């Protein structure tokens, strides 16, 4: 099978051992280039996840693999845009969830709360990556720390079954943090030359 990486082509055998060799070659070729592996096109089919599984199921018939790359900058801009989009959708939901906790949470409230905790964990990971891309920016250097602190407060209120405190934390801690982060993402996107839209 023919493999295209950057501006180079190489031939690999159509057997399972070539899958590991392929990923080793990708890593070698990308080392120090500023690009990261994002997806691959296998005989015209775009694959974005489970690469090894897809390849192993079709290894005998694969003719051509084209390795798709992204610059780290593009990945960070996409991450910033995803964070911004998530926050825009999440803020009204958090506000409603706060009201539900003041009234007494239902099973649906708890389900939404679990989703929010997952979202906060994803935001923490995304913000950590963004902070590493924009080191030293005073405004964003505190986001990761703030998310960790707010997560601990939510966890304590949850452990104490304090629904009113959970409502307060959502309303007066999480919502302002989401608003601040959304504003910050807009500023970073603008600094990257994208305004509030990647297109």
Look at residues 94, 88, 90 and name the one whose alpha carbon lies nearest to residue 169: 94
Q: Considering the domain boundaries, does residue 54 fall inside one?
A: yes
Q: Considering the domain boundaries, does residue 79 fall inside one?
A: yes
Q: Which helix (H) or strand (E) holds 75?
A: helix 72-103
Higher pLDDT, 37 or 130: 37
- Which range, 60-64, 144-148, 150-154, is most confident? 60-64
pTM given for the model = 0.73
Look at residues 29, 102, 84, 140 and name the one whose alpha carbon lies nearest to residue 132: 140
* Cα–Cα distances in angstroms (integers) from residue 135 to residues 5, 130, 131, 179, in the given order: 30, 8, 6, 21
Residue 67: the pLDDT is 95
Total tally of structural domains belonging to the chain: 2
- C-alpha span between 163 and 104 (Å, rounded): 7
Q: Considering the domain boundaries, does residue 46 fall inside one?
A: yes
- C-alpha span between 48 and 163 (Å, rounded): 41
Q: Considering the domain boundaries, does residue 103 fall inside one?
A: yes
How would residue 138 be classed by pLDDT, with cut points 50, 70 and 90? Answer: low
> Are 80 and 55 in a shared domain?
no
> Are 92 and 172 in a shared domain?
yes
Residue 189: the pLDDT is 87
> Are 186 and 106 in a shared domain?
yes
> Are 92 and 140 in a shared domain?
yes
Residue 45: the pLDDT is 96
- In contact, 65 and 1? CB cutoff 8 Å: yes
Residue 97: the pLDDT is 97
| Residue range of the domain that includes 121 | 74-191
- C-alpha span between 78 and 72 (Å, rounded): 10
How would residue 103 be classed by pLDDT, with cut points 50, 70 and 90? Answer: very high
Q: Considering the domain boundaries, does residue 197 fall inside one?
A: no
Residue 132: the pLDDT is 77
> Are 47 and 111 in a shared domain?
no
> Are 122 and 175 in a shared domain?
yes
**What is the pLDDT averaged over residues 70-77?**
88
């Amino acid at each position: 099978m023919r493999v295209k990486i950057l501006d180079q082509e190489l031939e690999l055998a159509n057997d399972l051992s070539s899958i590991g060799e392929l990923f080793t070659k990708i890593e070698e070729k990308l080392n120090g280039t500023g690009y990261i592996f994002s997806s691959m096109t296998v005989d015209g089919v775009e694959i974005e996840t489970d690469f090894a599984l897809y390849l192993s199921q079709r290894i005998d018939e694969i003719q051509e693999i084209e390795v798709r790359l992204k610059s780290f900058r593009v990945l960070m801009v996409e991450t910033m845009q995803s964070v911004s989009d998530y926050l825009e959708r999440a803020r009204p939901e958090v506000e409603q969830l706060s009201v539900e906790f003041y009234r007494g949470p239902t099973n649906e409230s708890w389900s939404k709360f679990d989703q929010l905790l997952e979202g906060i964990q994803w935001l923490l990971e995304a913000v950590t990556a963004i902070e590493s891309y924009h080191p030293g920016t005073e405004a964003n250097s505190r986001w990761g720390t703030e998310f960790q602190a707010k997560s601990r407060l939510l966890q304590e209120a949850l452990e104490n079954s304090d629904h009113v405190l959970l409502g307060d934390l959502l309303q007066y801690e999480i919502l302002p943090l989401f608003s601040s982060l959304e504003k910050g993402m807009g500023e970073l996107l603008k600094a990257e030359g994208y305004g509030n839209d990647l297109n």
